[in-house]
Structure 1
Amino acid sequence: MDLRAATILTLVTHHTHDLTDRLARAQKAAAEAGMDALLISPGADLRYLTGYEALPLERLTCLVLPASGDPLMVVPALEKPAAEASPLGGLGLDILAWAETDDPYALVASRLPGSARTVGLDNHMWAEKVLNFRRVLPDAEQALAGEVLGDLRMRKTAAEVESLRAAAAAIDSVHRRVPEWLRPGRTEREVGQDIADAILAAGHVTVDFVIVGSGPNGASPHHELSDRVIQAGDQVVVDIGGAMPDGYCSDSTRDYSLGAPSAEYAEYFAVLLAAQKAQCDAIRPGITAEELDAVGRDLITAAGYGEQFIHRTGHGIGLETHEEPYIVSGSARPLEPGMAFSIEPGIYLAGKHGARIEDIAVCTQDGGERLNLTTRELVVVDL
């Protein structure tokens, strides 16, 4: 066996072991939460537990994960080859295929323990599937599997942090090129297409979002793209992200100015920069999500811009761009080592311009680590 083949075998073996451990931990957590089984349809939860990136079809694909006993996978017959070819195929789970005329929900129900009284359904399961499970399990209470899986997924392993670090490096490489494409006379959409192409070229397999908010559009946090023509003197908010081949996501926002900014903009950008840096510096085990939110929000409010900071400080990130933990007022959740999340305060002046600075950070044993390493300063594009 050559070195490359041996390396691949080592990686596959390690990955399979990790997935087996995730399944076991999910079963244990389900039992502790009083759930008799988890039913997981295509999405990030299924990929997290099995490595299978299943297509979200009207036909039922479902991981049946009893609190005790052997897990199994129920798939449409035409999807069985894909399931077997995925990392799921190496886990030793039974893969039950159902034919077009079968009732897959009844098949799942028949494989659950007869005493099952509470089943956890993944948070993003389609309503028609939820209702079909209610039909075949009329005596079982339905609960959110996210109450179990969210706690597991938000505590990242060292390998997951490495995946997020690679994703951050890839999106950083795109931000370094943004000044090449920001030119007066170009539309946001044209710039956005260049950015999207670069996101894929940098190693992502999907472009999840491209926000190019120029001038007054920068005051809309989720503006995305339009046919507005970028002008000299504009400030531009660029928020971009995608998913890497292993499913882990990137997300970073930087701000650009086509020529020197106005005194008004420079003043509040300095406030925002100080607030974002203070929040990154404040990350440590034990600080609560709401306390971390307040670190930046209090600085921005004291400077007179509190009403212009209109969203939470951040969101967790992993196999989804937005997941637990959320860095928001009202959340008393203490941060723990391995939690990964965005720090992205913003200030938005409606009808004028806006700014947001976003890094992905990880809580470590003795503080925090910022994964995005491009400059957080305003980037002035020479005209």
Structure 2
Amino acid sequence: MSEPWLMLTSYLANITDVNSKVDLNHNISIGDLIGQVDLSKFYRYMGSLTTPDCNQAVVWTLFHEPIQVHKSLLQRFPKETKLSNNYRPVQPLNGRHITASPATPRPPGHLWCYDDHCDFTPSLWPELPHSHCSGENQSPIDIDTQSVLEDKHLSSFKFTNFDNKHAIKSITNKGHTVECILEHDLVEVSGGGLEHVYSTLQFHFHWGTESTNSVGSEHTVDSKRYPMELHIVNKRKDLTLDEAVQTPDGLAVLGFFIKPPLSTKSASDSIPAETAAPTSSPASKMDAWKKLTLYLSAIRNISSEVEFTDEISIDDLLGNVNRESYFRYSGSLTTPMCNEAVVWTVFKESVTVDHHLMKMFPKNAGYHNVFRPRQSLHSRKVYTTAAATVPGTTLFYLLLSCIGALIS
């Protein structure tokens, strides 16, 4: 790459006078000077010449990648020509739009978002390049418990290394969620009616605001939205990630609702019928959540990431939540590009977390209401685990207690 620029800059000593020129005796092409710059990544806007008369007749293309030239060669330009700072000051945009080619990387959180501070809000996600967000198998959805279908093939899960206290590698602020990245090929999920073994990649959170009455779950049950939702993302072990997002069952996501503990136990908190809406896990381990949320102040900047050093397992965060009772449907990722590659499992029982710990997520991340609006179910079906049978002895004593209550 230095050779063409070495030859080009060698002529600068011969054009020190204004309007002087010299013929090139070397074979140098524009391609030689550009080198390995990726020409598919560029920005575009309507503008002008940058020297008088500054005619507004230019379609500008600015390439994202710079040309790599040795510093000593760049220094030859001002040294030999005796010219310096020969650039025009930045001009106002004045309502003009700057576009980018599909291959151009975007700053985190700038291209798409959940509110109105970016170019593409959820209603415009389908317009993103390579987007699948207008498909008919989109997530999240509302789970209508009156229309779910029982499926006896929805068996118990096998969670491998969910109890490993060193599985969490790092925690990062993605600009639209807080994500915990797991050690490679350590944690796995199988069973539960899944036809493959899945490697657990990461888990992340969706939330509303810092308000006590805030809601922020993505899925809803009978139109009820919960304060937060935890997603554990798993990829088929036999596929690469690029292959998985193009395969209908390439990903398996486990969704857990999160809500604060109730001050008093009501009838609605008893063990639900198999198609009932989620209740709270009676024994989530709050110490694990306290340790996890302490990291949030260290990742307030978008794209910041810190190593996770505390001994916390996924089991610690889930506590005693019932993992035998859940809903199942086929859907998509809930962020662009919304690939319809997800086998969704939404657990009926919610994880219990103190409200002051939940509000640490929006408080430290600096953004709120990070959940996608629910999508149409279209012709899809939502399935549920089979109703649990009551053992004969238990049923006998339940009947006795009911009879006793009636007599008294």
TM-score (norm 2): 0.27
Higher relative helix content: 1
Q: Bigger relative contact order, structure 1 or 2, given CA contacts below 8 A and separation 6+?
A: 2
Decide which structure has the larger Cα Rg and report it. Answer: 2
TM-score (norm 1): 0.28
